[in-house]
């Protein structure tokens, strides 16, 4: 018989199932929007625009806004979809580098994540990480082109590693940078393999396997080119760290990188 953790009540599985069944869904016919996902998981329903027509993406964004969400958000937005979003919402925020579209208000940042790229070519995936963090309400600092081909570059940013709640490392080619970074910090490293590289990199498979077999412990690996997944993972870590600091110190207010409860003040 499973033994519950000390101080934790046993799970009420029937109650959990009932709570899930009560979650609202916006049925568009071609899509069923999980409009209460943020209340359940901390991350809202996000529209994956790849494979959808511009009209379908716009309809999904409109459905989320109609359900009362303060921010509707789409990833993997191509030029045609971006134009359709702009036509429907002239004040929409379109991030061409990240291929993301945002309609509504971005939350105030809490916590801080450091995003490193091994090379400039990894920039589009890092941009998706940064955009995801912003939409999740987490502060971000990005440092590009600190790959292992010039080890002095990553060593130069090593003092910053401890000021972040989590570190996201985006790398293609051999994918060695996350293991190096994980050997320099006690922060969790979220590793993102990219499809950047020559033939034997196999469109990101080689760096993926390198990251999965990293010698340094404390590396969490997401899928190839999955900046969104890395951003969500890092955001959850940062928000938990922010909540822990506030619980420990009894402070109110926002936790930006320069604020009284920012990581730099720890």
Please tell me the predicted confidence (pLDDT) of residue 27. Answer: 82
Q: Which of 11-15, 92-96, 167-171, 218-222 is predicted least confidently?
A: 11-15
Q: Which of 8-22, 40-54, 187-201 is predicted least confidently?
A: 8-22
Q: Which of 167-181, 203-217, 244-258 is predicted least confidently?
A: 244-258
Distance (Å, whole) CA 259 – CA 265: 8
Please tell me the predicted confidence (pLDDT) of residue 24. Answer: 80
Domains of the chain, residue spans: 24-105, 107-266
Distance (Å, whole) CA 19 – CA 95: 36
Closest by CA to 131, choosing from 77, 88, 173, is 77
DSSP state of 17: H
Interaxial angle between packed helices 54-66 and 79-88, expressed in degrees from 0 to 180 and rounded to the nearest 10? 40
Please tell me the predicted confidence (pLDDT) of residue 204. Answer: 95
Distance (Å, whole) CA 137 – CA 5: 31
Largest pairwise CA distance in the chain: 58
Distance (Å, whole) CA 26 – CA 213: 41
Q: Are 246 and 263 in contact (CB under 8 A)?
A: no
Distance (Å, whole) CA 62 – CA 52: 15
Average pLDDT, the chain: 87
Closest by CA to 44, choosing from 85, 11, 72, 9, is 72
Q: Are 34 and 25 in contact (CB under 8 A)?
A: yes
Three-point CA angle 240, 114, 122, nearest 5°: 125
CATH 1.20.1630.10 for the 107-266 domain, yes or no: no
The arithmetic mean of pLDDT across residues 183-198, rounded, is: 95
Please tell me the predicted confidence (pLDDT) of residue 20. Answer: 53
Q: Are 104 and 88 in contact (CB under 8 A)?
A: no
């Amino acid at each position: 018989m499973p033994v519950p953790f000390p101080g934790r009540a046993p799970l009420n599985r029937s109650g959990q199932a009932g709570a899930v069944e009560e979650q609202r869904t916006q049925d568009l016919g071609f899509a069923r929007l999980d409009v209460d996902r943020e209340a359940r998981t901390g991350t809202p329903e996000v529209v994956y625009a790849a494979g959808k027509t511009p009209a379908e993406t716009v309809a999904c964004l409109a459905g989320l806004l109609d359900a009362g969400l303060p921010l509707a958000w789409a990833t993997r937005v191509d030029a045609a979809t971006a134009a359709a979003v702009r036509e429907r919402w002239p004040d929409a925020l379109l991030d061409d580098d990240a291929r993301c579209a945002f309609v509504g208000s971005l939350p105030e940042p809490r916590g801080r994540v450091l995003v490193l790229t091994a090379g400039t070519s990894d920039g589009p995936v890092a941009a998706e990480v940064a955009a995801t963090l912003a939409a999740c309400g987490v502060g971000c600092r990005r440092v590009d082109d600190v790959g292992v081909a010039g080890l002095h570059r990553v060593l130069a940013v090593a003092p910053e590693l401890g000021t972040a709640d989590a570190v996201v490392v985006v790398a293609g080619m051999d994918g060695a940078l996350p293991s190096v970074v994980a050997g320099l910090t006690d922060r969790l490293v979220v590793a993102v393999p990219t499809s950047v590289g020559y033939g034997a990199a196999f469109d990101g498979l080689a760096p993926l396997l390198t990251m999965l077999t990293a010698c340094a412990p404390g590396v969490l690996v997401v899928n190839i080119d999955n900046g969104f997944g890395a951003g969500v993972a890092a955001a959850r870590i940062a928000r938990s760290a922010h909540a822990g600091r506030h619980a420990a110190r009894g402070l109110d207010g926002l936790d930006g990188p320069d604020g009284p409860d920012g990581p730099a003040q720890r």
